[in-house]
Amino acid sequence: MASYVVNTKEQREKMLAEAGIDEQSFYASIPQDVKLQRPLNLPKGKSELEVLRHMKHLASLNTVYDVVLRGAGSESHFIPAVVRQLSAREEFVTAYTPYQAELSQGILQSIFEYQSSICAITGMDACNASVYDGASAVAEAVNMTGDRKRTVALLPKSIHPETLETVKTYTQWLPITVKEVEIKDGKVDVESLKSLLTQETACLVLQQPNYFGILEDVEGLAKLAHEAGAKVIVSANPMTLGVLKTPREQGADIAVGEAQPLGLPMSFGGPYLGYMATTTDMVRRLPGRIVGQTKDLDGKRAFVLTLQAREQHIRREKASSSICSNQAHCALTAGMYLAAMGPQGLKDVATHCTSKAHYLFNQLSTLGFKLRYDSSFFHEFVTDGPLSSHKVEDVLSSHGILSGLPLDETGILWCVTETSTKNDLDRVVSILKEVLA
C-alpha cells in the first residue's frame, strides 16, 4: 500500500500553468490583512531521527492511564486489530464525497453496509450516512419532528447536559421551544412529563441509559408521548443494543446516539459519530445523505446516493437540514466494528460491561459507597461515598487509574467496560480501602 505524498513544487507549478494562472493570482481573493507579511522564521530542519526523538519526548508528557473508569459520553472499549488495520487503508482514508456513483462504488457500499448495520441494531427501516456526533444527532432529530402546530420539544434533565445545550443552540433560531422535564430519583418524573404533554408537543427525547447510567422506562414514557400525538426520540448507547430491546421495540420513532463505542478511540474527544435511524414514515425528513442499493445496466449490485434532504442537493427553502459532513470514515469504522464483532460479539461486550460495573459497585459498597439513585443501571452508575470525589480522583490518578467523573463534592459517575479486568477493579477497591484506613 502506497503512502500519501503531497504534491511537489514542480507539480503545483504545472497545475497552475495548465489553469493559466500564477501563484499570486491564485491567492488574490484572500484579504491582505489576514496574509502573513513576514517570513515564517522556521527553525533549521532536523533529521528524521531527531524529529522522532522529539515526538517521543512530546508523547512522554501525556498521561496514559492503565485503567479507565470514566464515560459520560466517551468510553474506553477494545478495538479489534482488524478494524484499525482495514479502516487505515489509503482508499478509505483519502476518499471524499461520493457524488459520482460510477467512480465511488467502494465508499458508497461502505456507507450502505454501515446504514444496514445501524438499522439492524436499532430495529429501524432507514439510516442516514451519519452526522457529527450524538448531541447533534439528537438536535437534528428534534428538527425532524416539528411542524406549524407542534413546536415544543421536551427534554428531560436526565439526558447528557451537553446534548441539552446542543439542542438549545440548534433551536434558538427555529420555531421550536425546548422545555425541560424534571427528574425524580435520577429518572424522568412521570408527573412532570404528563403536565408538559400538550397538543403543541412535537417530540419527547429520552436517553437510554440516561446520563446517570440509569435505565429509563422508555416503553411507558413513549406510550404517554404517543397518546399526546408526539414523536419519540430515543438516544441509545449502541453497546446496550446487544442485550436490550431495540429503540423501535421500546416505542421510538427516531433512534439516535453516539456511536463512539463502536470501534472509535476516545482520543481527545473526537472526531466522533452521530447515528440516526427512523421508520419509513419519517424517512423523507431524515437529514444528511442516504445511500441506496440498486442494479446497474448489467444487472449487477450497485449503490447510489438517494433521498438527500439537505440544502446542497435540493432547493434551499425546502431543505430540512444544513448538515454538510457525514463523518464517513468514522461511519466506515463503526460498520467494520459491527461486522467484526457480529451479534454474539456485541452481546458479549455488553454482558461484560454490565456485569463488571455491578461487580465494582458491590465492592465499593463494602467501603461505604452508596448508589445515589436506587435504580437499575447498565454500565454507568453514580455513587456518594466516604471520600470526596476529587480525593478519589487524585488518589487513583497517582496509581495510573482514571476514576469516574466527579459530579459534585461527593458524587462520582463511574463507567466500567470490557477493558477492565477483575484484578483492575479489585485494585481500585484496595487502593481506596487503604486510603480510608
Where in the chain are the domains? 67-79+342-436, 81-338
pLDDT digits (tens, 9 = 90+) for 408-420: 999 999 999 999 9
Residue 312 has pLDDT above 60, yes or no: no
pLDDT surpasses 90 at 347: yes
Q: Say which CATH architecture domain 67-79+342-436 belongs to.
A: Alpha-Beta Complex (3.90)
Average pLDDT estimate for 60-73: 95
At residue 1, the pLDDT reads: 42
271 contacts: CB under 8 Å, gap ≥ 6: 132, 327, 330
Taking 90 as the threshold, does the pLDDT of residue 81 lie above it?
yes
Q: Is 183 a residue whose pLDDT tops 60?
A: yes
Distances in Å between the Cα of 430 and the Cα atoms of 86, 183, 367, 414, 419 are 40, 34, 10, 17, 19
Residue with the bigger pLDDT between 291 and 100: it is 291
The 10 Å Cβ neighbour count of residue 240 is 23
Q: Is the peptide bond before 209 cis (omega within 30 degrees of 0)?
A: yes
The mean pLDDT value for 389-398 works out to 97
End-to-end CA distance of the chain: 57
pLDDT of 391 > 60? The answer is: yes
Q: Considering only CA atoms, which of 230, 135, 235, 213 is closest in space to residue 176?
A: 230
**Which is higher by pLDDT, 104 or 423?**
423
Q: What is the pLDDT of residues 120-143, one digit of tens each?
A: 999 999 999 889 999 999 999 999
Average pLDDT taken over every residue of the chain: 93
Which CATH number applies to 81-338: 3.30.70.890, 2.170.190.11, 1.20.1250.20, 3.40.640.10?
A: 3.40.640.10
- CB-based contacts of 103-109 (< 8 A; 24+ apart in sequence): 105/302, 105/303, 107/328, 107/332, 108/291, 108/303, 108/304, 108/305, 109/303
Query: What is the reported pLDDT for 115?
Result: 97
Whether the full predicted model's pTM is greater than 0.85, yes or no, is yes
Q: Is 81 helix (H, G, I), strand (E, B) or coil?
A: helix
Residues 6+ apart with CB under 8 A from 181: 154, 155, 156, 157, 188, 189, 192, 193, 196, 204
Give pLDDT, residue 3.
60
Residue with cell 432547493: 315
Helices (H), 35-93: 48-60, 81-87, 90-93
The alpha carbon dihedral of 365, 368, 374, 377 has a sign of negative
* DSSP string of 116-145, one letter each residue: HHHHHHH--SEE-S-BS-HHHHHHHHHHHH
Q: What is the pLDDT of residue 318?
A: 67
Lowest-pLDDT range of 122-131, 206-215, 286-295: 286-295
Higher pLDDT, 97 or 172: 172
Over residues 40-57, the mean pLDDT reads 93
CB-neighbour burial class of residue 275 (10 A; exposed 0-12, middle 13-18, buried 19+):
buried
Q: Which stretch of 116-130, 186-200, 224-238, 315-329 has the lowest confidence by average pLDDT? A: 315-329
The pLDDT, as a whole number, for residue 116 is 97
